[in-house]
């Protein structure tokens, strides 16, 4: 499953329970989350993984309004290794994007 969770744009607090509900309903083996947010106190990918019993890895690509913005992978199985590459365009747009 892949899902762009749309960071903290719009009514993000109302979307949180829907994200958990949909992932739980479909019960995928692997989930790729795009536009994941995190800050000094919480990370949405970690929250979802903990709530649903997944392993996870997260990598931020930039900061927006004091919060991290990045990608995450959730897996039913332990994630033994991961890597991340920055995508082209940061110099041109000022926005960091990555592939995890």
Beta-bridge partners for 90: none
> What number of residues does the chain have?
100
pLDDT tens per residue, the chain (100 residues)? Answer: 999 999 888 898 899 999 999 999 999 999 999 999 888 888 999 999 999 999 999 999 888 888 888 999 999 999 999 999 998 877 888 788 889 9
Thinking of the domain 2-99, which architecture would CATH place it in?
4-Layer Sandwich (3.60)
In this prediction, residue 97 carries a pLDDT of: 86
Strands 2-4 and 30-38: parallel
Distance from CA of residue 75 to its chain's centroid? 12
Neighbours of 43 (CB within 10 A): 21
């Amino acid at each position: 499953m892949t899902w762009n969770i749309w960071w903290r744009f719009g009514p993000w607090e109302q979307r949180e329970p829907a994200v958990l509900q949909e992932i739980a309903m479909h019960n995928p083996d692997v989930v790729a989350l795009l536009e994941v947010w995190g800050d000094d106190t919480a990370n949405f990918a970690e929250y979802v993984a903990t709530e649903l019993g997944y392993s996870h890895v997260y990598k931020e690509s930039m900061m927006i309004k004091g919060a991290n913005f990045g990608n995450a992978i959730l897996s039913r199985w332990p994630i033994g290794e991961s890597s991340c590459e920055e995508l082209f365009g940061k110099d041109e747009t000022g926005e960091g994007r990555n592939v995890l």
